Amino acid sequence: MTHEENAALAPAAARARFREGLVVPTSGFSAGYAQANLLAVPEEYAFEFLLFAQRNPKPCPVLGVLEAGQVESTLLAGGDIRTDVPLYRVYRDGELVDEVADARESWRDDLVAFLIGCSFTFESALLENGVPVAHIDQGVNVPMYRTTVPTTPAGRFSGPLVVSMRPVPADRVADAVRITARYPAVHGAPVHVGDPAALGIADLGRPDFGDPVEIPDGAVPVFWACGVTPQAAVMESRPSLAIAHAPGHMLITDARDLTYQVP
């Protein structure tokens, strides 16, 4: 399907395609609707992760929390959190042990699923205002990087901040900051503009997650807090089980992105 066809898909139709086996990054899908990161942990860890998210609202803005054993939500009407993400990651004791398109085999009734805001949500607003989004133009996943910036620990959870990067024409950086600042529930304004070394990133061509993008002449790397940060915390904190989205493969929700826009 073309980018235009993906953008025109209703969220339920997009989720149906993923249930049927389509595995692709979701940037550009269902324009006008919010996308979400997923992290599901056993109930014994749930309060500590909720506290971690509360202490780190920039990378971990919580859009919704499902109760233990719950797999449906008003954010995905008629859907199933175990099947409606294109690709899942399964962690055991902090180690990535599997990537699957259907998480039901690894799911447990004691898992509490957290839905966390995703910066793909504000990409429609960037495009509508003429700010290019390089990974969409280039047909690749957004590049994401572990940084040397620590998060604020909570209970057993700690780890580094993860950021996503979009190269923005130098004369549009202020616009990109202004536009995305209106979406604090999906990471909001950038955390850094310019020098990647200031975040401890040695090579933009080697992202920790996602794909490298070509940085056009005259563009500046702009970094947003990223919802893969919880997975970095899982790798460092090593809970017995965690199920997450594969980076860039998000849950497309029924919530309009305007729901999360502030004046």
| Alpha carbon separation from 239 to 20, 27, 66, 250 (Å, rounded) | 30, 29, 18, 22
pLDDT in tens, 139-185: 999 999 999 999 999 999 999 999 999 999 999 999 999 999 999 99
Q: If you search the block for the tokens 């700690």, which residue do you land on?
A: 158
Q: Is the pLDDT of residue 126 over 90?
A: yes
Count helices and strands (H / E) in the chain: 7, 11
**pLDDT number for residue 24:** 95
User: 218 by DSSP, 3-state: which?
Assistant: coil
In this prediction, residues 113-122 reach a mean pLDDT of: 95
Q: Is the pLDDT of residue 230 over 80?
A: yes
C-alpha 142/C-alpha 213 separation (Å) is 8
**pLDDT number for residue 1:** 74
Q: Are 59 and 214 in contact (CB under 8 A)?
A: no
Q: Where is pLDDT greater, at 217 or 2?
A: 217
Q: What is the 3-state secondary structure (H, E, C) of 105-151?
A: CCCCCCEEEEEEECHHHHHHHHHHCCCCCHHHHHCCCCCEEEEEEEC
Give percent of the chain above pLDDT 90: 97
Give percent of the chain above pLDDT 70: 100
Confidence grade of residue 29 (pLDDT, cut at 50, 70, 90): very high
